[in-house]
Amino acid sequence: MDTKELLKKVRKIEIKTRRLSDHIFSGEYHSSFKGRGMAFAEVRQYQYGDDIRSIDWNVTARYNETYVKVFEEERELTMVLMVDVSGSELFGTTKQFKKETITEISATLAFSAIQNNDKVGLLLFSDEIELFIPPKKGKSHVLRIIRELIEFRPKSKKTDIKQALRYLSNVMKKKVILFILSDFMDDDYDSALKIVGRKHDVTGIRVYDKYEEEIPKLGMIPMLDAETGKTILVNTNSRTVRNNYKAHYLKTIDYFDDTFKRSGSGTINNRIDESYVKKLLGYFKRRGAK
């Protein structure tokens, strides 16, 4: 992809996702993810309705008038986007690939974070760590993240969520808001997620295509495994084949839901022909109401 085309794509995603984050998500994001606590800001004269427990007795005695302490939330947080760039993300039977939906969701989350003056980092993974961009603030930093999401070409097509979680644990010593964006066609990451979930605020965003849920009846067709590169002939008219495929798929999704629930982490399931706007907004509202 040449530079002109890349910049055009970055700009298109920026316009779409920044509008969403500015007008919809920034407030919901703020109320959903709390700061580290309350910090002293100032003292002011007592007003009717103020909590008497906030009276500053030293200042009150000095000025012979009642003053109260004012506290504000220590707001600055750090968000990390942990994004699956394995071969299975280059699949989609509707308007776009899973990768493109993941890029838009990531950009929306990143702009929501910087609207609240938070830092954003990026971890791209396959079955190895492909790229890590440490968290920073600012629009130019977010645009760099979007560029990487659009044009990055991974070395591997396979997936290993466990290894990515272990890497995250090693590089991020302080608590972060972690969004893991993947189709989660993987297993054996429960123990790693449990460890990460103890320290960090974790949400898994599963992005998938409708034809990954159930194979349509199309006769004998060649099917490519995007992660191994192997092509096999599959008789999609066979009920046994379709049932076995669906059972395997449901087992993977049950593992995702159960593993995240047991680790105390949140989940969002978003099909690429659905509105991720509604899914994110609903998730933020539920979190903010707790």
Q: Same domain for 200 and 216?
A: yes
Q: Same domain for 59 and 101?
A: no
Q: Same domain for 48 and 27?
A: no
Q: Same domain for 91 and 186?
A: yes
- Does residue 41 or residue 135 have the better pLDDT? 135
- The domain boundary residue, chosen from 73, 99, 124: 73
**Residue 82 pLDDT:** 98
DSSP one-letter code for 202: E
Q: Same domain for 153 and 100?
A: yes
- The domain boundary residue, chosen from 73, 92, 126: 73
Provide the residue type at 239 as one letter.
Answer: R
Number of domains in the chain: 2
> Which CATH number belongs to the domain containing residue 147 in this structure?
3.40.50.410
Instruction: Say yes or no to pLDDT of 269 above 90.
Output: yes
Question: Range with the lowest mean pLDDT among 18-32, 138-152, 160-174, 274-288?
Answer: 18-32
Instruction: Say yes or no to pLDDT of 202 above 60.
Output: yes
**Residue 11 pLDDT:** 76
Q: Same domain for 188 and 116?
A: yes
Q: Same domain for 226 and 167?
A: yes
Q: Same domain for 177 and 219?
A: yes
Instruction: Say yes or no to pLDDT of 4 above 70.
Output: no
pLDDT band, residue 261 (cuts 50/70/90): very high
Q: Same domain for 137 and 232?
A: yes
Q: Same domain for 64 and 157?
A: no
- For the chain, first and last CA: distance in Å? 45
Instruction: Say yes or no to pLDDT of 72 above 60.
Output: no
Average pLDDT, the chain: 84
